[in-house]
Structure 1
Amino acid sequence: MANTKPHFLSLRYRLMMFLCLSSAFVLILVWVFVTQFMQPLYNHYIYKHLLNQVNTVVSIIESSTEPISTRTLPIMDAQVSSSFESSLLSAIQSRKLDASNTCFDLADSTLQHVTGFENLYPCLLHEASFTTSINGKTSVWNGSVVESLRATVLSQGYVKKELVVDKNASTRQMAVGRVAKNGDETYSVIFCTSLARIDEAGVVLGQLMPWIFLCLMAFSIVASWLFSRWFTNPLTKLSHATRKLADGDYSVRVNVPETDEIGLLAADFNHMAGEVSRAAQLQRDLLANVSHDLRTPLTLIKGYAETVRDLTGDDPDKRTAQLDVIVDETDRLSGLVNSVMELSKMSSGTDKPEKVRFNLSQLCEEVAQRYEAVCAQNGYTLKLELPDPETDCTVCADPAMMERVLHNLLGNAMHHIGPDNVFILQVNVPKKGTVRVEVADHGAGIAKEDLPYIFDRYYRSRSDAGKAGTGLGLSITKAILQSHGFRFGVNSTLGEGSCFWFEAKNQD
């Protein structure tokens, strides 16, 4: 018997290992992201935001049909047109421009300030010497830092720069600029905003990550232990039930209330256990039925052979009668062996149908004619109900196998014929391309609990108990129809009779 104790290669431990390693991998990724990638990603986001701001102002300048500023003398402040100011104000109000925590600088080709706004304090772009006072804060619109950036923008057409007081300072800012054309005049457009010290937050988180890692890993181990136990418990039940089933306990069933894949597996196991139990019962029935069917003809053959040898002597009439019994029982024994062999071939797929197109209604008529003699001898009536000759009853099947199916169904109906001594063979076409054949009798019928198993090999309903026969005819019929892919079944009511049917198709 297999070891039932879990070990390090069991599904439970592998599942725990997977969950713990997954948690560790995720934590390491977070650690690396926080310490290595958060600052660059944040800076890139700020850059894209400032670039959108710059592009918005450049678009306003270049779409203006009139000069946006005039300067009487180089030393005089520039005069900004009211239409440009209105366009800037409209862009801010519509949130195309974000003026919060931002510095905007517009200068002409002389590197002199034209206009702008200052909502960034302190602003490293504009140095702290007197030019303009806003909300008590002083800004230098034409300092060395901003003039250097203006010159770079006008010469290169673009600038991106980080501004710091010194490398240990806590104030860090980013400036992005572009050139804008307005008629013959060239302008530099620069936006600046602060950069948060994300790297410092990364250092703090990096110091906390080992403790966070240990706490989360401890939680992951406990959670994975509980989860793996919950997950593998139904599988353990299935394993125990499988061993019991292998030991011959066919009554074992698994109670798994879940409706997931494991629940479906447990339901399939229970179904399999039921089928195995039924197969074992059929095997016992096979031993009982076949041994009885073999013992009877063998006993008769032996007894009559001994009688012929020891007692009959020269009496030709007795000898002939007894030899006839031997011949009949031998034929019966041969028929049983042939049925077993035929069912074995059909079930294993050795005998495959050789399909051709033929008229199934005509075949039913020919088979029915062969029962005229036996019906006349026993006082039976076979009613043959066929469709109109114009009706297309062509099917694609093996004619010899279909003939065997008809003989099996008619023989079964005759074996269970009712008090009226009537059985029926009916052919109809329920839809185009399908021919339905029904064989009905008015006998005792089949109990509802026997219907699902009536086509199983060696199965006999309670009403058939003790009757002669091998119990293989309907099994052979089932194997033939399944090899053709035809639908089949039986309808029955106790006390009223049974109707066996199958539907053949004209397409392979």
Structure 2
Amino acid sequence: MKKDEIKQKRPFAPGIQWQLMLFIGGITLFTLLLVWGIITYALEPQYNRNIRAKLDSKAAAITALIDQSDAEISSRTYQGLYLNDEFWSGVSQTFRDKKINVDGNCVDFSDSTLRCLKAYESMYPCLLHESTGAFGGEFGYNLDTRIAIQLRQKLFQDGSLYQIVKIGSSMQMCVGRLSADGQYGVIVSASLAQITTAAEVLRAILGPVALILLVLDLLLAILFSRWFTNPIRKLSNGAQEIASGNYDVQIKVERHDEIGRLAEDFNHMAAEVKRSAQLEKDILANVSHDLRTPLTLIKGYAETVRDLTGSDDAKRTEQCNIIVDETNRLSTLVNSVMELSKVQSGAERPNLVDFDMSDLCFEVAGRYDALCDKNHWQLDLQANEPCPVSADPAMMERVMHNLLGNAFHHIGADGVVVLRAIPQEKGCRIEIEDHGPGIPPEDLPYIFDRYYRARQDSGRTGTGLGLSITKAILQQHGFAFGVDSAVGRGSTFWFEMKDTRK
């Protein structure tokens, strides 16, 4: 399928660049709306709660002073008198020592007649005590204003006071408490104009700030998304190249994060795809050749028997035997290909049972007695200790036959092949050793690949699939396997089995 056709079939969806821009823009708008909501609905109430808590604390501390002074007056039998000069002197000293900080507050003392006994002012303007006087002269205060009397009345009626007074654009929070005997009241107040002004200023500048931030975020999102998606576009182009049949694609790794690791994995995948494609070509060529040879012989000898030697019993028998041998060879090749396909596709799953691998080694080794006697070879079996394992015995038997067949195929001048079963802590290790020509180092990584033949094996008979089937079976079981080899000294194929009972 062509690149343009693939694009036409893709459903429309915004790219990563647009998604990043939308995401960052959305986060910015959400943050700005959150800030606006906090300024509008949470800033002023929270500020008022904090101011009220502070005013409550100051009112409680001042009424405690009144209760203490009242107790002292009672002990001196000055009953029925108002708070005296000694008390006001003590209160003033307490304020000066900052034991009760009333800076920026108005403190109003009154009694049950609702008249003001004393007032401390460090706030201007004060809505409770109207200021009097001219600019440049002395200021005075009207301590018994209508608002102050109303607040005192509410305090003595309810026992406590919390009220926000608003005149024009000025607001003032008032908190009041009564003394323990209920004869004296204290009203502490603070201005709220500053928080209202601050909220209005913040809301006024939030719009321009939001616009500037949104523009900056979108510009940064464009730059970041281009930088972020550039390696992804390279990977996409590389994947399309591979899809079109170009397997020589390698992406330059410029980063060391997740995208950099993805590029490394892509390069590894491309190399494996290239090697797999080449291997498939080799398999097709080799299988075609191996199929063509017996089919040609079968056809040739069948035609000869039909046309020339049908009446010659000896020649007919010889040629029919050749046809049978080539048919068996063809059948072996087809069976090997089918077996490899079933194992690799998962159609044939291992049937795990517990058994002694040493016993299976003895059984398999016994089947090579006739071959060894005929060729004067020796199979040295070293499996004297029990090796309990969990595996599919039939598959393990197939693995050992493949490895032993490969070992005898490359047997050395001494004619010895060694089969070892070595017990391990959790299973056993099986080794099959020959003393043949060995495997060159450059061939070792590919020795288990399908239809791979080392250079010294070129031209030898065989399907070339035995080690591939072995690899597939051992991978299905999850067993480790490998080969140790040195040129001129032979090879040792090994695999390690597990015992799940331990």
Query: What residue in structure 2 maps to residue 177 of structure 1?
Result: 176
Question: Using the alignment, how far apart are the partners of 1:440 and 1:55 within structure 2?
Answer: 96
- 2:502 paired with 1:498: no
How far has the Cα of 1:477 moved from its partner? 1.4
| 3-state SS, counterpart of residue 197 of structure 1 | helix
Q: Is the 8 A contact 1:401 1:480 kept in 2?
A: yes
Unpaired runs of at least 5, structure 2: none
1:344 to 338, 341, 358: 341
Question: Using the alignment, how far apart are the partners of 2:55 and 2:456 within structure 1?
Answer: 92
Distance change (3 Å), C-alpha of 1:359 and 1:69: farther
1:212 to 209, 213, 236: 209
Question: Using the alignment, how far apart are the partners of 1:85 and 1:453 within structure 2?
Answer: 97
Distance change (3 Å), C-alpha of 1:36 and 1:305: same
CA RMSD after TM alignment: 3.7
Question: Using the alignment, how far apart are the partners of 1:121 and 1:283 within structure 2?
Answer: 94
Report how many residues are paired.
487
Question: Using the alignment, how far apart are the partners of 1:23 and 1:319 within structure 2?
Answer: 92
How far has the Cα of 1:404 moved from its partner? 0.7
Counterpart residue identity of residue 268, structure 1: D
How far has the Cα of 1:328 moved from its partner? 1.7
Question: Using the alignment, how far apart are the partners of 2:293 and 2:300 within structure 1?
Answer: 11
Query: What residue in structure 2 maps to residue 11 of structure 1?
Result: 16
Query: What residue in structure 2 maps to residue 455 of structure 1?
Result: 448
Question: Using the alignment, how far apart are the partners of 2:179 and 2:498 within structure 1?
Answer: 81
Query: What residue in structure 1 maps to residue 401 of structure 2?
Result: 407
Query: What residue in structure 1 maps to residue 54 of structure 2?
Result: 49
Distance change (3 Å), C-alpha of 1:203 and 1:317: same
Q: Is the 8 A contact 1:435 1:505 kept in 2?
A: yes
Question: Using the alignment, how far apart are the partners of 1:186 and 1:386 within structure 2?
Answer: 108
1:481 to 462, 474, 483: 474
Question: Using the alignment, how far apart are the partners of 2:434 and 2:65 within structure 1?
Answer: 96
Query: What residue in structure 1 maps to residue 27 of structure 2?
Result: 22
Q: Is the 8 A contact 2:73 2:79 kept in 1?
A: no
Q: Is the 8 A contact 1:69 1:81 kept in 2?
A: no
Distance change (3 Å), C-alpha of 1:42 and 1:329: same
Counterpart residue identity of residue 49, structure 2: H
2:416 to 415, 422, 430: 422
How far has the Cα of 1:143 moved from its partner? 6.5
Query: What residue in structure 2 maps to residue 168 of structure 1?
Result: 169
| 3-state SS, counterpart of residue 159 of structure 1 | strand
| 3-state SS, counterpart of residue 278 of structure 1 | helix
Distance change (3 Å), C-alpha of 1:157 and 1:270: farther
Q: Is the 8 A contact 1:80 1:114 kept in 2?
A: no
How far has the Cα of 1:311 moved from its partner? 4.4
1:152 to 151, 154, 169: 154
- 2:465 paired with 1:472: yes
Counterpart residue identity of residue 175, structure 2: V
| 3-state SS, counterpart of residue 67 of structure 1 | helix
Question: Using the alignment, how far apart are the partners of 1:49 and 1:212 within structure 2?
Answer: 33
Distance change (3 Å), C-alpha of 1:86 and 1:440: farther
Distance change (3 Å), C-alpha of 1:61 and 1:486: farther
Return 264-273 or 100-109, whichever deviates more. Answer: 100-109
Query: What residue in structure 1 maps to residue 71 of structure 2?
Result: 67
- 2:241 paired with 1:225: no
Q: Is the 8 A contact 2:176 2:187 kept in 1?
A: yes
- 2:271 paired with 1:274: yes
How far has the Cα of 1:250 moved from its partner? 0.2
Question: Using the alignment, how far apart are the partners of 1:449 and 1:186 within structure 2?
Answer: 106
Counterpart residue identity of residue 405, structure 2: G
How far has the Cα of 1:204 moved from its partner? 3.8
Over residues 450-500 of structure 1, what are the superposed CA-to-partner deviations in whole Å (9 max), with x where a residue is unaligned? 333322222223333332222211211122122222222233333333222
Q: TM-score under structure 2 normalisation? A: 0.83
Query: What residue in structure 1 maps to residue 300 of structure 2?
Result: 303
Over residues 259-285 of structure 1, what are the superposed CA-to-partner deviations in whole Å (9 max), with x where a residue is unaligned? 333223322222221121111011101
Counterpart residue identity of residue 194, structure 1: S
Unpaired runs of at least 5, structure 1: 131-135
Q: Is the 8 A contact 1:176 1:190 kept in 2?
A: yes
Q: Is the 8 A contact 2:95 2:102 kept in 1?
A: no
Q: Is the 8 A contact 2:351 2:391 kept in 1?
A: yes
Distance change (3 Å), C-alpha of 1:66 and 1:317: farther
Q: Is the 8 A contact 1:346 1:480 kept in 2?
A: yes
Query: What residue in structure 1 maps to residue 379 of structure 2?
Result: 382
| 3-state SS, counterpart of residue 491 of structure 2 | strand
Over residues 410-461 of structure 1, what are the superposed CA-to-partner deviations in whole Å (9 max), with x where a residue is unaligned? 1122222233322221112221x32222222223333334333322222223
Q: Is the 8 A contact 2:480 2:496 kept in 1?
A: yes
Distance change (3 Å), C-alpha of 1:478 and 1:158: farther
How far has the Cα of 1:333 moved from its partner? 0.8
Counterpart residue identity of residue 160, structure 1: Y
Query: What residue in structure 1 maps to residue 439 of structure 2?
Result: 446
Distance change (3 Å), C-alpha of 1:366 and 1:192: same
Question: Using the alignment, how far apart are the partners of 2:84 and 2:118 within structure 1?
Answer: 8
2:359 to 354, 358, 362: 362
